[in-house]
Chains A and B, each alone.
Chain A
Amino acid sequence: MPKLSREGRYAIGFRLNGQEVTAHAPGRMLLTDLLRHVLGETGTHVGCEHGVCGACTVQVDGEPVRACLMLAAQAEGADIRTVEGLEPAAGELSPLQAAFREHFALQCGFCTAGILMSLDALLARIPDASEDAIREHLSGHLCRCTGYAPIVKAALAAQAQLKEEEAANA
């Protein structure tokens, strides 16, 4: 039973975007701060630190999770994916990312990483998710720029593209 006392810094090991990483942090550090300021993965953004805005959403073991509501210490042994892990290759966008660009589903881009991680998790788990399910999933995110409609369009377009690719590979 590990005990992390308030004074110390502790090694936390987990998988980040497919790579095993170890980072050192005090027991009270939030996962957002560990990702951004210890590991330098600044694509995950911080908007409210009380779990409402969704900007910091990452995938933990395949599920979308608010990184601001998770202690870094709780990431021990987890498989975490952030927006930095979405690109298939440098300079190449995933179908979801490409759909966001094509449908102007982002403006300032600050909330976008969290939204991408949520939608990516949903489409991976439920490839046939209905538009209602997509909306219900998106309702956990606040976007102040787009008015949301282009995001829904992009999600549906990405879904169609992914299904097409799936069919082609089958």
Chain B
Amino acid sequence: MTINPSADRWIGRSVPRVEDPALLTGRARFVDDIATSVGTLEAVIVRSPHGHATICSIDVSQALKSEGVAAVVTGEDVKRFTRSMTVGVKADVECWPIATDRVRYVGEPVAIVIAADRYLAEDAADKVAVDYEVLPAVVEPVAALQSDAPVLHPSLGSNLINERRFSYGDPDGAFASAAHRISIDVAYPRNSCTPIETYGVVASYEPGEDAYDILANFQGPFSIHAVVARALKVPGNRMRLRTPPSSGGSYGIKQGVFPYMILMSVAARIAGRPVKWIEDRLEHLAASVSATNRVTRLEAAVELDGRIRALDWDQIEDCGAHLRAPEPATLYRMHGNMTGAYAIDNLSIRNRVVLTNKTPTGLNRGFGGPQIYFPLERLMQRIARQLGLDPLEVIRRNLVPAASFPYRTASGALLDSGDYQSALDRAVLEGGLDELKRRRDEARAEGRLYGIGLAAVVEPSVSNMGYITTVLTPEQREKAGPKNGAQATATISIDPLGAVSVKVASVPQGQGHRTVLSQVVADTLGLDPTAITVVADVDTGRDAWSIASGNYSSRFAPAVAGAAKLAADRLRAKLGEVAAGQLNVQSDDVDFGQGRAFARSNPDNSVSFARVAAAAHWAPGTLPDSVDQTIRETVFWTPEQLQAPSAADEVNSSLCHGFIFDFCGVEIDRDTSEVRIDRYVTMHDCGTILHPAMVDGQVRGGFAQALGAALLEEFVYGADGSFLSGTLADYLIPTVMEVPDPIILHYESPSPFTPLGAKGVGEGNCMSTPACIANAVADAIGANDIVLPLSSSRIAGLLAGDEPQPKVKPKQVEDTAPGGQRKLTGGGSAEVAASRKEVWRMLLDPATLEAIIPGSHGVEKVSETHFTADVTLGVGPVKGRYKADIQLSDLDEPNAVTLSGKTVGALGSGEGSGRVTLEDLGGGRTRISYSYEAGIGGKVASVGGRLLDGAARVVIGQFFKALANHAGGGKVPGAGVFARLKALIGGGR
């Protein structure tokens, strides 16, 4: 690494990070490391095991008696002290941070237990008894729109919470006259960038001032401060929000901690003590926040040469169970650049936002980008394929021409700068696209599966705080008043010894903001970066901040570093005047460098920076009249280009627009269908580069997360709303073994709109990479429809031909319900030494049931055909106590009966039914055959997925084995398929 103090600029160099020594030695302070007030209590949240259910009752009496418990807070309590959170669309719906009448997703908070420590709080949480009435759930956005779909929020009347249509240019005319209409249908899955540090909140309440104090690893935007203060029914100045100095990654996700700020504030108020809550990983996966899943139909009007005349988008956005602020922002962040990197004049968009029984959505790296670039860039490949053109040519032909910047897109974005063609050409050359094509030819000649994918995207950064109001009609916006801009702020102060401190409200989560700001300010003030101290965490009670503050929309380099640059410039101008007096020269002759102020005309005439800088403290009377003070300079900067949406719904949704062109070569193993990425090339134009190593770090990090989204990661739900990706063994984050090192290339087109010429860079690969890899896989295997994530199993499904069939068809091969629902089916049979009548009697006799139900602690007869039981069920170490409710129906004495049961317990709930048939074998013997279908929800479904099928088989098998034994012995032939097969093919030695 080069640190050369004589170089004329710090910006643009990869200086070591000031953040690292503390992080590398364990001294950094994350939210769970910070000392709390003596007497601080810890909270645990009781969460819904159901995707959709009415809460009939919550009994907290046992929990309150549990050791160390201070209070238990329920939705009723939260309602008493707060009001519903603000919803971003005009709709008759409430949005609470905790369930009040019903639960609408697995993991939704239902109660908060506050106790002396987390262990005791979890003990008590086990004792909170919630009685649910399960409701039908809907998890697919298209299904949610059906007229017969279960409705999550009755006040809305349906699950459609917002719909808007937009038209720019003349899309109808373009479609009518174009040579081709080419379309694609895409269902983009749910995933999350899942930081390794989970959420954390410490809250307290001072009743004398009616004021809340909250520490949270929140990342912004601080517009959410207003949402939380309103919900807590206090003015903003009675809700002090602080962030810890270090935060363990966020990637958007820690915006979603805000409902917990409200909950813990109420908890602290009720408990009368500060309350701390550290989310655990299971809570985080199930219920923190997720990116939206989206169903899109995209159609293009295309000329013969591949030029696109118009795009027609139909997007159905799934925001989960509640529309939480700032949603539906995911759907509107890209509104200005729905035409991607292409010059397309005609555009129509239909946007629908639906609610389903899944976790509410929020910020996630790439925010809205993957959902549009996946269909758009997959469509580009399809256009090339359908027209027999080179995909690279189709992209090139449609790119925004280099001479047209700043370029106004059809829907109103102002693309600030770039030369997309040159960047693309350079990537093709330096990244070696031709070589990949040769490799593809060779591989294919050998019968191997090799494909190349491309993707070109525009990466927006510095969000216009008004873009989300595009969801309102122009009339609604008129009424609400305009929203726009992106206030960034920076404060530079000088202490009495002349040392410089920088304070920003950017709340970094690992991006190295402090290092970069020290470079920026060092350059302006002629100091060494190590002499400058930077604080980037926020205290809303003390710091300069605004709604746009925070760490999101890749706004640091373009906006925050820019604001710091402006503050430094201002201070430098004043210090120049002070120094001019001290040096006896004109102020325009003063320069700063190497820790000194000097006369440019005579560098020997110099004075130390500290002496100039400290004058305002020690001898303000010596300052020239034109200088008020040099102690503290705060700059607020908002770009004029970010205007409110126009009456025609045009919106410049972001200030900066970087350009990315990616390509990759992949090979698919013919035997295992595993994907190997042979080479991945990513070209970035993010304007001026402030710190090359950090820019590459952002690219690599985004790429790795995007690779996860492309190949591994998905939040999977069962049709009943059960959550199936509940552990890090189910939600698969790529490791070092899965992530190749991409070749990173740069092209620099400084932004004319930002003080330093920088644009955002952190999110681009989350937008480009999933589409690029999907295009490569599609090219490799000749597939048309690609669904993410591209697991080997999914690719195998696309490649699969006819399967060799068995001679002996095993009984238990079954189809699984769609969407990987945690549905269990099975069956078996047992022969017993008893007549059908006797067996029949046993099945209806509580005493027999008690004896044969595995783990039974007592069976009670409610009616002739209705029993309740208290049972311990489990396999291996996994045991739980359940209340079971068993009903008999379709009685066909003595031939058949249907048993339906429900169980509820700490580890989850189950529901199922089985048909039992009795066959007379003669000689007083009966064969009992059974088949069952069961669904399981709750904790076990989320975290113990792999265990379930087996557990159900073991337990149900035990039941019938016990029945057989009870009836006088017998054997259970059901398990013998394998044994018989072995005998058949002569094995079994």
Contacts and interface: CB of A to CB of B under 8 A. Distances in A.
Contacts of A26: 119
B32 interface: yes
Given A26-B119, A108-B246, A112-B24, A147 B739 contact: yes
B91 interface: no
Contacts of A93: 21, 24-25
A104 B24 contact: no
Contact of A139 (B21, B194, B736): B736
A147 B701 CA distance: 5
A28 B119 CA distance: 9
B704 interface: yes
Contact of A100 (B24, B509, B741): B24
B700 A42 contact: no
What DSSP secondary structure best describes chain A's contact surface?
loop
A75 interface: no
Most chain-B CB neighbours within 10 Å: which of A48, A55, A109, A146? A109
Interface string B704-719: 1100000000000000
Interface string A143-157: 111111111100000
A47 interface: yes
Interface stretch (B406-414, B727-735, B854-862): B727-735
Contact of B697 (A29, A140, A150): A150
A160 to B, nearest CB: 16
Interface string B235-256: 0000000000011111100000
B701 A144 contact: yes
B21 A107 contact: no
Interface stretch (B12-20, B539-547, B868-876): B12-20
B510 A108 contact: yes
Contacts of B693: 104
Contact of B249 (A36, A110, A140, A148): A110
Given A28-B119, A46-B32, A84-B25, A104 B246 contact: no
A21 interface: no
A73 interface: no
A145 B701 contact: yes
B831 interface: no
Nearest to B512: A107
Contacts of A146: 697, 700-701, 704
B25 A97 contact: yes
Most chain-B CB neighbours within 10 Å: which of A110, A116, A152? A110
Nearest to B67: A7
Given A53-B196, A84-B25, A109 B32 contact: no
Contacts, number: 167
Contacts of A148: 704, 735-736, 739
A142 B119 contact: no
A56 B696 CA distance: 27
A50 B729 contact: yes
Contacts of A41: 26
A48 B510 CA distance: 19
What DSSP secondary structure best describes chain B's contact surface?
loop
Contacts of B700: 146-147, 149-150
Contact of A49 (B194, B281, B511, B737): B281
Contact of B694 (A46, A104, A108, A144): A104
Given A43-B27, A104-B697, A109-B23, A145 B249 contact: yes
Nearest to B692: A104
A108 B248 contact: yes
Given A53-B196, A108-B510, A135-B736, A116 B249 contact: no
Nearest to B740: A149
B30 interface: yes
A151 B736 contact: yes
A83 interface: yes
A109 B24 contact: yes
A43 B195 contact: no
A26 B68 CA distance: 14
Contacts of B195: 108, 110, 144
A148 to B, nearest CB: 4
A87 B248 CA distance: 21
A53 B697 CA distance: 21
Contact of A86 (B25, B32, B197, B694): B25
Interface string A123-147: 0000000000001101111111111
B17 A116 contact: no
Interface string A6-35: 000000000000000000001011000000
Contacts of A101: 16-17, 20-21, 24
A110 B512 CA distance: 14
B20 A149 contact: no
Contact of A107 (B32, B510, B727, B742): B510
B984 interface: no
Contact of A149 (B1, B251, B741): B741
Please provide the 7 A-B residue pairs with the shortest distance between their CB atoms, ordered closest to farther: A43-B26, A108-B510, A110-B248, A109-B23, A147-B700, A107-B510, A147-B704
Interface of B: 1, 14, 16-17, 19-21, 23-30, 32-33, 119, 193-198, 246-251, 280-281, 509-512, 693-694, 696-697, 700-701, 703-705, 727-729, 733, 735-737, 739, 741-742
Interface of A: 26, 28-29, 36, 41-50, 52-53, 55, 82-84, 86-87, 91, 93, 97, 100-102, 104, 106-113, 116, 135-136, 138-152
7 contacts: A101-B17, A104-B693, A108-B248, A109-B23, A138-B735, A142-B196, A144-B733
